[in-house]
Chain A
Amino acid sequence: MAVRVVGPMSWIGWPTLLAILLTVVLSTPVSLFGLNLPQPVWPMVLAFAWPLIRPSMVAPAVLFGLGVFLDLFWGGILGLWPLSLIAVYGIMLAARNLMVGQETLFLFVLYAGSTLFAFLLAYVIVTVAIGNAPSLISLASQVVPTLILFPIADWMIQRFDDGDVRFR
């Protein structure tokens, strides 16, 4: 049986395109019964999962591009999301040897911590740059949908970490 090769397109390319597509779709101005669509930060899943799957030079570069995309698309401060996402990636990369192979519950705690750290960093930057602190309720309205995306990150880690023996 031949060894299945998982190329960068599988674990970097397609997830990136999917994250962009879902970000665009969920930015559609839809209001049902007074409620709008949730607007999570999809690249947060990638910033958490990619360093645990495999260290790569391409992944942080792509993550930087995704952050710039978010800033331009949402109209935020340029550099806000690249910094937050890359910070999460860097921390996970540094702690990779301790985190790989942990059980799902531990990974969720780690994912929640990473997400909160990224949002806290963005919160501080916006507060300092604009001189006005955003509402914590509105912050929670984006943090919670982002936390709910953890199963996708967990699936990516299980799928690609075990999918190719060369990743070990």
Chain B
Amino acid sequence: MAFRDGPFENIKVPLAWTAAVVVVVALIASIVMIVGDRGTAAGRGETGPVRAGFVAVAGPVGGIFAAPVRWTGAVGDHIGGYFFAISENRRLKAENAELKQWRDQAIAMKTVNERYEALMGIRTDPPVPMAAGATVQDSRGPFARARLIDVGAGKGVRIGNPVMNEHGLVGRVVGTTAGISRVLLLTDVASRTPVLIERTDQRALLTGDASANPRLAYVRGTGLKAGDRVLTSGDGGGFPRGLPVGIVAKGVDGSWRVKLFSDRGAVDYVRVLLFQSFGQLADPNGLNAPPLAGLGSAPPPNANEAAAISDAMTRRTAADAAATAARDRRIAEANADRQTPLPAQTQTAPSPDSRPAPLPSATDQAPTPVPGARG
């Protein structure tokens, strides 16, 4: 029997009501998704299989549209270079002359710095390997500022790796697949980057708010000036110390903001720093092991070592016994002093003539001969 021939033949549900039911179900599903995603909202990492799978598909699709743009840009640069070759040559010569002075200073400072490091025994950060990639998709909305780049876990990229262009820090990796990674930009509302002011060594937290210039929050101390250079501080181990970030500027709302170096050029090509902090490099099992755990696997001592150990133990026991006896003696002496009655003292009012004894001045004190002193 067909449905239309049954008892429900004459039941007609208004279309608006059925649509409303779907709307309510969709609203509930949306709220559940938001609540479920709040745990990862701060980092918004592509750790889930749905996000990772979507990014793995969306990345190559974005690359199809980004490739012609990149080619067009390259052609534009070529034509511009042809027409402006002379002026560009003059500019580069002037810049080169200036940079030579900086190079000489850098070489001199590097030599001095190496000597200081050797003298002080400083452990410097090891060189950080990098992986280069191109941007294939760009989110520029107020609620998400992120980019997809065409390098992923296949080239060693991990979640948390810093991303730079040729001018400065761009952001950090928040999700990876085999060939695509998502980069959370410094301007995203969820971005927090520990930074320092180069001139004063003040610490602050670079906080994105989806504007072009992220805000400096929790600035320690005073004395911040517009034009100060901002670097990553390396606090927390997420970023290496000293990556260039930008220049301090006063915002229209009166807050301190940072003009990012990375905005000086296109971020179509970026470098991912395959950085791991010392904290990540350390073996946690080794750090958590008992301090003398190696004794369990140590070879037995020979006769000389056994004699030395026995001698040391005897000396240590004798020293402990002597210390205990001395302590008991001091306690007994203190108890004896407490049991002795003090002589009665009468309180008399000080007479007007009575004056406190003058303190001995430095000139009054006779020099005490120091054994072995000469002169």
- Whether the Cβ atoms of A77 and B143 lie closer than 8 Å is yes
Partner pick for B210 among A31, A63, A134, CB 8 A cutoff = A134
Which residues of the partner chain A approach B138 to less than 8 Å between Cβ atoms?
A: 27-29, 36
Chain A residue with Cβ nearest B146:
A75
27 contacts between A and B (CB under 8 A): A29-B69, A36-B138, A39-B141, A51-B19, A55-B14, A57-B18, A59-B19, A61-B26, A64-B29, A68-B33, A72-B58, A75-B139, A79-B29, A79-B32, A80-B34, A86-B26, A90-B27, A93-B20, A133-B189, A134-B142, A134-B209, A135-B142, A135-B209, A137-B211, A138-B210, A138-B211, A142-B142
Q: How many A-B residue pairs have CB under 8 A?
A: 177
* A11 CB, nearest partner CB in chain B, Å: 14
The verdict on A80 contacting B16 (CB below 8 Å), with A60-B23, A135-B210 known, is no
* A70 CB, nearest partner CB in chain B, Å: 9
Q: Judge if B144 is at the interface, Cβ distance under 8 Å.
A: yes
Which residues of the partner chain B approach A116 to less than 8 Å between Cβ atoms?
A: none
Q: How far is the CA of A61 from the CA of B42 in the complex (A)?
A: 28
Q: Judge if B161 is at the interface, Cβ distance under 8 Å.
A: no
* Interface pick from A103-111, A121-129, A152-160: A121-129
Q: Judge if A24 is at the interface, Cβ distance under 8 Å.
A: yes
Which residues of the partner chain A approach B140 to less than 8 Å between Cβ atoms?
A: 36, 39, 141-142
Chain B residue with Cβ nearest A76:
B144
* A124 CB, nearest partner CB in chain B, Å: 11
* B287 CB, nearest partner CB in chain A, Å: 33
Q: Judge if B116 is at the interface, Cβ distance under 8 Å.
A: no
The verdict on A64 contacting B26 (CB below 8 Å), with A27-B62, A125-B34 known, is yes
Q: How far is the CA of A133 from the CA of B293 in the complex (A)?
A: 51
Q: Judge if B311 is at the interface, Cβ distance under 8 Å.
A: no
Q: Judge if A25 is at the interface, Cβ distance under 8 Å.
A: yes
- Whether the Cβ atoms of A73 and B22 lie closer than 8 Å is no
Query: Interface on B for A, CB 8 Å cutoff?
Result: 14-16, 18-24, 26-27, 29-38, 41-42, 44, 46, 50-51, 54-55, 58, 61-62, 65-66, 69, 135-144, 146-147, 174-175, 182, 184, 189-190, 207-211, 266-268
- Whether the Cβ atoms of A55 and B26 lie closer than 8 Å is no
Which residues of the partner chain A approach B30 to less than 8 Å between Cβ atoms?
A: 64, 67, 79, 82-83, 86
Q: How far is the CA of A80 from the CA of B44 in the complex (A)?
A: 13
**Majority SS at the chain A contact face:** helix
* B151 CB, nearest partner CB in chain A, Å: 15
- Whether the Cβ atoms of B20 and A77 lie closer than 8 Å is no
- Whether the Cβ atoms of A122 and B207 lie closer than 8 Å is no
Q: How far is the CA of A126 from the CA of B46 in the complex (A)?
A: 18
- Whether the Cβ atoms of B34 and A60 lie closer than 8 Å is no
Q: Judge if A14 is at the interface, Cβ distance under 8 Å.
A: no
Within 8 A of B (CB), among A21-70: 24-25, 27-31, 36, 39, 51, 54-57, 59-61, 63-64, 67-68
The verdict on A77 contacting B38 (CB below 8 Å), with A28-B62, A130-B189 known, is yes
Which residues of the partner chain A approach B135 to less than 8 Å between Cβ atoms?
A: 29
Chain B residue with Cβ nearest A29:
B138
Which residues of the partner chain A approach B21 to less than 8 Å between Cβ atoms?
A: 57
Which residues of the partner chain A approach B20 to less than 8 Å between Cβ atoms?
A: 90, 93-94
